[in-house]
Structure 1
Amino acid sequence: MTGAYTPRADLFWELAGLITHIPGLAHPRPLRRSAEAFTERFGPLESERPSGIPREDLYATLRECDRYPEGLRFYLDTLGSGRTGTLAWAAVEQMYLRLYPERLLTPGERDELRTLLGARAPGTRLGPLALPFLPFLPPVDGDTDGPEALEALLDALEDALVPAAEAHPLLSFVEAVAVTQQSLLEAELRAWSDKVAHHIGCPQEALQQVRAREAARVGRPFAPSRLLVEIVAHPAAPDVYHLRGWLLATREGPSSLLADCRVTSRGALEETVAALHESVLERLGELSAGLRVEFLLPRPLLWLDVDQFPVRPAGSVARPIGADHTVLVRSRDRFHKRYWWPALHRRLAWLRSNPDGGFEAPAVRYVAPDGVLAPYDLLTELRDGETPFCFVLLEPPQWDGDLAADPVYVLLEVGIPAIVALRRRGHHAEAGPQLWKVLAGRLDALPDRVRHLRGVGPSGYGSAVTLDLHRHVTLVWDSQDGLEGAEAALGHPRTGGGHHDRGVDRPA
């Protein structure tokens, strides 16, 4: 802070000089009236015997007033009454700000931050974490991570210049510290940032951008970006696909249309997805860490092996897209039928109230190839329940074009958020126990476990996994970070899943 680099005595001497040069204030009368008002409010001034030199006597009075909390401010307000609009008094106020710079943080906020930083993990050096947000670190004597160094660092960060359209450097520093700490302290630091950002007028969007950037720098994506790919096919030409792709902001609908095209073969479809994927990686750069890829598919394409579509990031080897990213399938039918949403939200509410819910009955139901109930019986059984949350289909029912005879359509209608389908046929006796083995755990972490399964392949689970499960698992998934509110951006493509859609010839 400015006052820290100029002796306060010199600043008081300059302040006394500015006041005595204001016409009328060198006279003893206004000075005496101000001193009397001060005495009534705070107590008598105990200045030394007057020297007769106005500047020296005023200097002594100002130093004496400063001994009382808010005393100097009161004295100046009294003395300057009727003069506050003048240029001469503006210089007095500027000198006061050098003595008492405006603080960014309230005392309580600063104390709380000091306590949180004091609880940081051993070995966390604050100087290197702060340097990207300061032109230089403030000089300190002794321990560079001790209490005095922390105070100087916080002073410098409070006074740091704020780049246009960016978060305050102090908030950026706190976020840089947060991502290096254990989850509890990380959450407390971020809660502090949220509170202070509101207080100092920092836009939440700027804070979120800093949060994502700092998390990406340590390989721990805070709010992974999402690539949404919608694929539909004309019922009369199943090898002709219409594809659209968007980049999704966190907890928001699609914000930018990156692709909108028609392809005429499975190979061309895979190449288009690969090109879209590469363009998103280039666009996001370091923020691509943790990218999630979601395919919005109609019922006829629900088991399309999109997680196995090959991608080739620039300069690297080809691999299935599901080996690098969490790949989810979202039901296009459920998205467009809003009257299905209440049933979905009811089951999601059950998951929120049971955060430790496991991959087991009654939350999960395994269905053998010949074990799926008739659609109406399934509807009757499930329509009013909170569980099951997940269905595991060891052989997913094929689409024959008849919605009324399709049990999967019923599962979507009654709000089953998660459907795990094994696309490979046969070997059902082995598939059940192996799926249970690799997917068991918390239900809300199911997407991460499926990603891990696809990424490590059979060798990652030892000789017991012999069915190449990583190549044949579809995860249909809906959650609270779904696509609600995105109708205007998504719109309707020209064709889709056996139905002719409206709004046909223009991208959303």
Structure 2
Amino acid sequence: MDPRRLALIHGGTTGARHSVGTGYLIAPRLVLTARHVLVNRATDEPWPEIRIRVGHPCGGQTPLLRAELLWHHPRGLDVALLYVEEAADVGDPVTWGRPVGRAPLRYEGLGFPRAAAGTTRDPEHLRGVLPPLSGSGEYYVLDQEPAPVVGADGEKPWGGASGAAVFCDDHLVGVVVHDDRAFANRRLRAVPAHAFVDDSGFTAHLTGHPEGPPRLIDIGAAPPKAGPADGCPPTERTLANLLRPLLADPVARWAHARELARELGYETTRYEPSVADLAALVASHPRALATLSGSLAAADERARAGLTGLLIRARLLDGVSLLSPHEYDGLLDLLRTVCKEHPTLLPRAARESLRYAVLPESLTRPTVSEQDLGGLVEELEALSDSERVPEGTAPVPALLRLVEYAAAAAAHEVAAGLRSWSEETARRLGIHPDALRERRVDASAWAHRPTAPVARVVMELKRDDSTDQELYRCRILLAGEDGSRTVLHDARTVPKTPEEAARCLSDTVAATAAEPGQEDHVPWVTVVVDRTDLHLAVDEWEPDTPDEIMGGQPLGVEYRVTLSCPDMTDYRPQRAQDQRRRWQHGPAQALVTDPACRDGRQLRHLLGGEHRDAAQVVLNGPAGERATWLQICLAMGVPVVLWDRAAASYEDSERLHTLRPAGRPDELPERVRDFRSHSFAYPGERAARPSLVWEQDGRHPAPGPLLFSDPPKGTHAP
């Protein structure tokens, strides 16, 4: 890049400037720029007057020269050539380049953005990274380091930089044509040189000049090199110390380094790094060490012990991943198939295989989506199995243990692929075959063990008091018939609207119904609330994305939805003992309040006297007294309480008669669901809106405290 070739372009009419842009002199009288700088956007016609200044202001004031549009791309690319009235001394010819490979390249350029304007247009030194794999190929993506913000007037801060020539390794590779506000003005886009230099019109104008016809040279990013020893980052210094014993021979080191650099997308011609340079390369990419260890393991089995020790110690370094790009991509392909064929398998396998690990968020939900797999694998790479392995061998990563459990329960072809991947990765890591075999035996035993169906889906709701909107924090627990408890956690659903909470619950029940052993058993939904939220009509909440064909319907229509208030036991500790007594002695006894019960004092007398063992209360009465009476019932250990949210007084008690409210309590939740379903199908026939509290024998299982801070990566539960 030669600053003397920089061009400031003004377009407009006589006496009036309407556009400002940038150009670059590629021949004595030819300036390369963006076409939109030269035309009136309203008419798409060239400005009648175009003037330019050639050269960087630091070289002194340059004259204002006339120019005219000479060429623009016939297929609409935003590039053009200007013909200048006076020739300039341009020095050496321009060299043209085409970025290749996968590794990002450093780029630079000079432009006149509006954000850098003062009394005059000042040039800005553009610089950053060009990632060849970003974008569609029609444009280069330029990730700019210094970036302006949008001004108070809302004008484009990059306006005026259009037409700037982009250079990589002193090769002109493209022309800036627009910015991308979606990336906070840190991203520019450029038309690649290879898209227009082969055009016959463009080539014709350069014929006869030393600069033409253009010849593109492939440019690849050079591998990083180590800096001064006293400023070497700790990770690079540690990696150099670990690599030095294994790669002391320069010839072997260069061969492995070139193979690694090619794998990472760098230019490798004449690449002969020192150990420090190789450490800098390994530290530049999280999967570089895994890639290098693969070639080392294949080349020299005698160095296995040293390589295993290197990998074990390197796991403690920041920015070093477990898997190579090949291993990572291969695992993602296999896990995508698992997600399609067994959507609940990975969370189930993780709950069993990694019982004491703090699981990634995506594994604490009922299913794992394909979009979550990349982040999921990356989080699991940091976890250790933490179980004993043969002395001198590498520990089994948690990721491999999960893969073995998933393979044990997957379809035959997928299982074979997962086991093959696991064996190859374990071999590269130096994991003892006996250690992997032990995990495989455990996984097989788990996969063949009968799965107890989920008896209840428990959702805990807490009102978000930080806002006036109706938003709730929620957590979900699966309670199995065998007494197992599985807490699900979704950080993205905090806080939720009622519709979002209903969708979360509905998705959980649907995923649970698809698990092995569940068959046609529909779980019972228990909503855990505190005493101030017992009025919530959760059974009437509808998911926020109803089925396009079936339409949405309330939760209470599909499931047995009951309320639970475990925190009442905190207010009256003997409540749990009273509940057990009532379940044991009075499951068939019911108290139906009538006008004789006029206040809370009389209700306490009834529940402590002749109805001391009653397990069920049908709470009729004045609406204004209902909240207090309900809390009295729960505090005195009544496990089943039914009431009509819409009732105003005792006169409305008949609306619950079709529910047979004093009948067998074990059938009551299903009768209530039938009632809600009928009311939804035939609106207006039944005015009652029943609510039902149902507490199990003893304190109901609850999801536990709502802690919404993420645990440190790689930590384990106590």
Larger Rg: 2
Q: Under a length normalisation based on structure 1, what TM-score does the superposition of the two structures give? A: 0.44
More helix by share: 1
| More strand, by proportion | 2
TM-score, length basis structure 2: 0.32
* Larger RCO: 1 or 2 (CA < 8 Å, sep 6+): 1
